[in-house]
Amino acid sequence: MIKSMTGFGRGEYSDGKRIVTAEIKSVNHRYMDINVKMPKRYSFAEESIKSIVKEKLKRGKAEISIIIENLSEDDVTVKLSSSVAGQYIENLRDLKDTYSLEGDVDLKLIASMPDVLRAVPDVENEDAAEEAIKQAVSAAAGNLEEMRAIEGRKLSEDLIMRGRLVRDIVKKIDKRAPAVAKEYTDRLRSRIAELIGDAAQIPEERILMEAAVFADKANITEEIVRLDSHMAQLEKILCSGEEPSGKKLDFLVQEMNREANTIGSKANDMEITSLMLEAKSEIEKIREQVQNIE
* Statement to judge: residues 136 and 199 lie in one domain: no
Do 107 and 195 share a domain, yes or no? no
> Is position 37 within any domain?
yes
pTM: 0.70
182 and 242 together in one domain: yes
Spell out the residues 6+ positions from residue 2 whose beta carbon is closer than 8 angstroms to its own: 152, 153, 155, 156, 238, 241, 242, 243, 245, 293, 294
What domain count does the chain have? 3
**pLDDT attached to residue 268:** 78
End position of a domain, from candidates 135, 150, 165 = 150
Cα gap 14→135, rounded to integer Å:
9
Residues 110, 27: one domain?
no
On whether both 45 and 143 belong to a single domain, the answer is: yes
Residue at 10: amino acid letter = R
Question: Does residue 77 belong to any structural domain of this protein?
Answer: no
Asked whether residue 285 falls in the same domain as residue 160, the answer is yes
Query: Which residues pair with residue 9 across a beta bridge?
Result: 24
Query: CA 23 to CA 140: how far, in whole Å?
Result: 6
Q: Are residues 40 and 163 in the same domain?
A: no
Condensed to tens digits (0 to 9), the pLDDT of residues 154-165 reads: 999 999 999 999
Residue 87, pLDDT score: 94
Domain boundary among 150, 168, 202: 150
The predicted pLDDT at position 123 comes to: 60
Q: Determine, yes or no, domain membership for 21.
A: yes
Are residue 138 and residue 18 in the same domain, yes or no?
Answer: yes
CB 62 within 8 A of CB 26: yes
Identify the CATH number of the domain in which residue 146 sits: 3.30.230
Cβ count near 290 (within 10 Å): 22
Structural domain contains residue 250: yes
- Note whether residue 2 is domain-resident: no
Q: 1 in a domain, yes or no?
A: no
The DSSP output letter for 71 is S
| Distance of alpha carbon 147 from alpha carbon 141, whole angstroms | 10
Same domain, 88 and 220: no
145 and 173 fall within a common domain: no
Residue 212, domain extent? 151-290
Verify that 136 and 162 share a domain, yes or no. no
Cβ 58 vs Cβ 87: under 8 Å: no
**CA 236-239-241 angle, 5° bins:** 110
Q: Are residues 142 and 24 in the same domain?
A: yes
Supply the DSSP string of 197-249, one letter for each residue: S-GGG--HHHHHHHHHHHHHHT--HHHHHHHHHHHHHHHHHHHHT-SS-HHHH
Q: Is 58 inside any structural domain?
A: yes
pLDDT value for 77: 77
Mean pLDDT by 10 residues, the chain (294 residues): 94 94 96 94 94 94 95 74 93 90 90 87 77 98 96 95 96 88 68 60 64 64 92 93 83 95 85 93 96 92
Q: How many residues does the chain have?
A: 294
Domain assignment present for residue 105? The answer is: yes
